[in-house]
Chains A and B, each alone.
Chain A
Amino acid sequence: MTDFDWGVIWKYREALWDGMLTSLKLFAIALAGGIFFGTLLAMARLSHWKAVSAPAAGFVNLIRAIPFIMAIFWFYFLTPMIVSKFTGQQGEAVGPFTSAVVAFIMVESAYYSEIVRAGIQSIPRGQPSAAYALGMNYWQSMGHVVLPQAFRNMLPVMLTQAVILFQDTSLVYVVALKDFLGAASKAGQLTGRIVELYLFVAVVFLVICLAASWGVKRLQASLAVTR
């Protein structure tokens, strides 16, 4: 245990920090996109029109049936193709970060749509009825009455899913994107100090996720009181 060089972490702190910034950027965009599109997907799945609910259900079930890594490969492959069809440009119209972001948004929206759907279904049917009785239309009823309550109910689950998403950002390793883990891996290969660097990565994730989970539990407790 004595011939470990922990100083390598300090030496590569800039690269590691840049990697962490990439991870956080990916996390923030994927979270926002995932919740936004997930909500739309949830509303689509609950729609009365088969033409809307069936494709939505199909998409969600498909994404949830395959490994996250497989989904990353799929969108990493499809995104440049589809973008170049639209813009008419060939080749490198879309970089690896963008493809990774698209992949993550697609996957997270499928998982968030299940959470939001459960949230919407947990609201008593009388609530949207009352909104309609006042003369609101579907979007007003959703926006002012149903979704605010649904999100409030589902907040702890959504935050837990966010912690999982943060951990999942490490998967961009498979498309060689330089996130926190990728930076540590690169530094490890350069210096041969993979043990120190990977342990560091593990500890950082552990601390962040533990703190976040603890925060969610505190939030859950305080919400339970005000109910």
Chain B
Amino acid sequence: MDWKVLLEQAPSGGMTYLGWLWSGLFWTLAVSVCAWVIAFTVGSVVGVLRTTPLRIPRALATAYVELFRNIPLLVQMFLWYFVMPEVVPREWGDWLKQDMPNLLVLPFAAQFSLWEFTAAVLCLGLYTASRVAEQVRSGIQSLPRGQTGAGLAMGFTLPQVYRHVTLPMAYRIIIPPMTSEFLTIFKNSSTALTIGVLELTAQSRQISEYTFKTFEAFTAATLIYIAITMTVILLMRSLEKRVAVPGYIAQGSGH
């Protein structure tokens, strides 16, 4: 096995193959974190809407979840990248494909543009939002019914009940499954390679194609993914400890 190949100069980017791996890691992190921001905010709203007594918002939220959960992520990626620009008004579609790439020069000499990045983030974010919505919904629904009643009896409006009573507890309960969703988003970010985003998996394949040292390239990427997983798990555990409510044993197991 020849690990030193990673320190050789790569054909492009003015860096070593190891540098390619780091750039892949950078883009994996960038896509995942930006997508997570969308997933968390949109998912929370949709999840809350799924539990309201109001019929139309609840139906819309359910439709959202069913739509995004029943189409494969890869197909959704293609829909955003290939189909979306064609079905929106012509000027917008053209702007996305032609002008957006020129807005910003992306670091690490990426062979893709802001448009690919945006499409990947939107796709991954809205897809994961549907999963986050389900977690938020089940967290809310696992709380004892009496909590909402107690809040309303005190004179809270329904939004206030959510804000002060329901959601603070619900979010603590769902930290373990949310951790799992956060990890999944890192793994799903690899789907972006199909529209040209050179994230970590893509880079490992590229290195193997240029150096023929497939085993070394894949192992390096695998080790980095494992490191990401372990870091996220540790961070989430410390988060769980910091926000834990004294005397309240969390429902469900730790992972």
Indicate if A213 sits at the interface (CB-CB under 8 A).
yes
CB within 8 Å for A210 and B218 given contacts A70-B190, A70-B201:
no
Q: Cβ of A198 and Cβ of B218 under 8 Å apart?
A: no
* Binary flags per residue of B135-165, CB closer than 8 Å to A gives 1, else 0: 0000000000000000000000000000000
Stretch at the interface among A60-68, A131-139, A141-149: A60-68
CB within 8 Å for A206 and B70 given contacts A69-B191, A69-B193:
yes
Indicate if A21 sits at the interface (CB-CB under 8 A).
no
Find A198's partner among B75, B187, B204, B229 (CB 8 Å cutoff). B75
Q: Cβ of A70 and Cβ of B188 under 8 Å apart?
A: no
Indicate if B41 sits at the interface (CB-CB under 8 A).
no
Q: Cβ of A198 and Cβ of B191 under 8 Å apart?
A: no
Find B72's partner among A168, A194, A195 (CB 8 Å cutoff). A168
Cα-based distance from A44 to B204 in the complex (angstroms): 32
Indicate if A54 sits at the interface (CB-CB under 8 A).
no
Give chain B's interface secondary structure class. Answer: helix
Find B83's partner among A163, A174, A195 (CB 8 Å cutoff). A195
Q: Cβ of A67 and Cβ of B72 under 8 Å apart?
A: no
Q: Cβ of B187 and Cβ of A195 under 8 Å apart?
A: no
Q: Cβ of A70 and Cβ of B218 under 8 Å apart?
A: yes
Residues of B within 8 A of A199 (CB): 79, 83
CB within 8 Å for A67 and B218 given contacts A173-B194, A205-B72:
no
Indicate if A74 sits at the interface (CB-CB under 8 A).
yes
Residues of A within 8 A of B222 (CB): 62, 65-66, 70, 74
Interface residues in A69-92 (C-beta closer than 8 Å to B): 69-70, 73-74, 77
| Smallest CB gap from B191: residue in A | A69
Q: Cβ of B72 and Cβ of A198 under 8 Å apart?
A: no
Residue from A62, A69, A77 with most neighbouring chain B CB atoms (10 Å) = A69
Indicate if B171 sits at the interface (CB-CB under 8 A).
no
Shortest CB-to-CB span from A62 to chain B, Å, is: 8
Find A73's partner among B79, B187, B201 (CB 8 Å cutoff). B201
Cα-based distance from A47 to B20 in the complex (angstroms): 42
Indicate if A181 sits at the interface (CB-CB under 8 A).
yes
26 examples of A-B residue contacts, CB within 8 angstroms: A62-B226, A65-B229, A66-B222, A68-B190, A69-B201, A73-B204, A73-B205, A74-B218, A77-B215, A167-B71, A167-B73, A170-B75, A174-B193, A174-B194, A194-B78, A194-B82, A195-B82, A195-B86, A198-B78, A199-B79, A202-B71, A202-B76, A205-B70, A206-B67, A206-B71, A213-B66
Give 15 new A-B contacts, CB below 8 A, not counting A66-B225, A198-B75, A213-B69.
Answer: A62-B222, A67-B190, A69-B190, A69-B201, A70-B225, A74-B222, A167-B71, A170-B74, A171-B74, A171-B191, A185-B78, A202-B76, A206-B67, A206-B70, A206-B71
List chain A positions with a Cβ less than 8 A from chain B. 1, 62, 65-70, 73-74, 77, 163, 167-168, 170-171, 173-174, 181, 185, 188, 194-195, 198-199, 201-202, 205-206, 209-210, 213
